[in-house]
Amino acid sequence: MRLLLLFFVLLLPACSSSSDIRETRFIMGTLVEFTIAGSDHKQADQALKEAAAEMQRIENLFTIYGNADNAVKAFNASQPGTTVKLPAEVANLLSISLDVERQSQQAFNPSLGKLNLLWGFSGETAPDHPPPAAIINAARPPRQCIRRQDNNWIRTDARCMLDFGAIAKGYAIDRGIAILRKHGIQNAIINAGGDIRIIGSHDGKPWRIGLRHPRNKGEVLGTLSLVGDISIVTSGDYERYFDYKGKRYHHILNPQTGFPATASQSATVLAQEATLADAWSTALFVRGESGLPIMSQLGYAALTVDRQGRIHMNKAMKDIFNPSR
Helix (H, G, I), strand (E, B) or coil at 316: helix
Contact indicator for 166, 282 with CB cutoff of 8 Å: yes
Q: Which domains does the chain have, with CATH numbers?
A: 8-60+170-323 (3.10.520.10), 68-155 (1.10.3980.10)
Query: pLDDT at residue 5 above 60?
Result: no
Instruction: Single out the residue of 230, 218, 170 nearest to residue 5, CA to CA.
Output: 218
- Long-range Cβ pairs for the range 44-47 (8 Å, 24+): 44/183, 44/185, 45/21, 46/183, 47/179, 47/180, 47/182, 47/183, 47/184, 47/185
Query: pLDDT at residue 9 above 50?
Result: no
pLDDT for res 146: 97
pLDDT per position as a tens digit, 52-105: 999 999 999 999 999 999 999 999 999 999 999 999 999 999 999 999 999 999
> Cα(first)–Cα(last) distance of the chain, in Å?
36
Please state whether beta strands 220-226 and 188-192 pair in parallel, antiparallel, or not at all (unpaired).
Answer: unpaired
3-state secondary structure 14-59: HHCCCCCEEEEEEECCEEEEEEECCCCHHHHHHHHHHHHHHHHHHH
pLDDT for res 253: 98
Which residues make beta-bridge pairs with 267? 235, 304
- Residue 4: phi and psi, rounded to 5, are -75, 140
pLDDT per position as a tens digit, 258-312: 999 999 999 999 999 999 999 999 999 999 999 999 999 999 999 999 999 999 9
Contact indicator for 19, 39 with CB cutoff of 8 Å: no
Instruction: Single out the residue of 138, 137, 136, 158 nearest to residue 146, CA to CA.
Output: 158
pLDDT grade for 198, boundaries at 50, 70 and 90: very high
Instruction: Report d(CA 30, CA 251) in Å as an integer.
Output: 15
Instruction: Report d(CA 46, CA 138) in Å as an integer.
Output: 49
pLDDT for res 161: 98
Instruction: Report d(CA 208, CA 34) in Å as an integer.
Output: 15
- Kindly report the average pLDDT of the chain as a whole number: 93
Helices (H) and strands (E) in the chain, counts: 10, 16
